[in-house]
Amino acid sequence: MTLQGRNANLIDSAEKVRSFLNKLCLWKMHLQKNEFAYFCNFAKTAPSSEVIASCTDHLKCLKEDMTRRFKDIIEMNPPSWIIDIAHFDVLSEKDIDPIIAGELLELKENKVLMKNIERDGLYGWMKVESIHPLLFEKVVPFVLGFPTTWLVETGFSATNDLLTKKRNQLQIEKRGDLRLRLNQDLEIQLDKLIDRHQEQCSH
C-alpha cells in the first residue's frame, strides 16, 4: 500500500486505505475457515486452532488500529463530479449547489479543459483555476498529498546527489561565505562578514 509519491493525493490514499482494510477482513475470514490461500506458509505447517485464533485477533486489532489512524481520509466524501466529471449528469443531480451546477455545465462544454482532466486525472483540475475559481476551490483540498516525509526525503536525496561522483567538479564548500554542510548546521563566516561591513557616516 503506497500513500506517498509525486502524484499521491488524498482521494487515491483513501481508496488504498479502504481497500487494504477490506483485505484484512477477507484474510481474517479465510483464516477462520482454515483456508490458507493468502497464507502459503500456513498450509505447509498445519497451524493449530490457537495459532489461527491468535492471527485472526491480530488482523482484527490491525484493522481497528488503521481505522482509527486513518479516520479522517476514510470518511472523506468528495463530490462525484471531481472523480468523474465526464459521466456526471449535472441536470439530474437534485442536491447540487446551483452555482456549482452552472460552472460544471460550462466546464463540460470546454473541450480543452475536459481533455486536460481526462488526460491528467485529478491534477487536470489545476488548470481550471482562472476560468472556474469556484470549482477549483472545491477540488484543491482533495488534491493535497497525504502528509508523509516523502518530500523531505526527496529533497535531501537531491541535495546529497550534488556531492556524488555525478557532480565531482562542484565544490559547494568553496562557493562564497555560506557553506552547505549535509547533516550539519549552516555555517556562516561571521569574521569575513564583519570585515566587509562598512559603517555609515552619522547624519
pLDDT at 135: 93
pLDDT, greater one: 87 or 122: 87
Please state the pTM of the whole predicted model: 0.61
Contact between 78 and 96 (Cβ < 8 Å): no
Cell of 135: 470549482
Domain boundaries, the chain: 10-75, 83-144, 149-188
pLDDT in tens, 98-117: 999 999 999 999 999 999 99
- pLDDT band at 194; cut points 50, 70, 90: low
CA nearest neighbour of 5 among 160, 152, 156, 145: 145
Residue 87 burial (C-beta neighbours within 10 Å; 0-12, 13-18, 19+): exposed
pLDDT at 12: 83
Find the mean pLDDT for residues 130-141: 90
pLDDT greater than 90 at residue 43: no
CA distance 102 to 98: 6
pLDDT at 47: 82
CA nearest neighbour of 56 among 79, 27, 85: 27
Provide the residue type at 53 as one letter.
Answer: A
3-state secondary structure of 178: strand
CA distance 166 to 73: 41
pLDDT at 201: 53
Contact between 125 and 139 (Cβ < 8 Å): yes
CA distance 53 to 63: 15
Greatest CA separation for the chain: 93
- pLDDT band at 48; cut points 50, 70, 90: confident
CA distance 3 to 150: 10
pLDDT in tens, 21-34: 999 999 999 999 88
3-state secondary structure of 147: coil
Name the least confident of 110-114, 116-120, 170-174.
170-174
- pLDDT band at 184; cut points 50, 70, 90: very low
pLDDT greater than 50 at residue 164: yes
Find the mean pLDDT for residues 83-95: 90
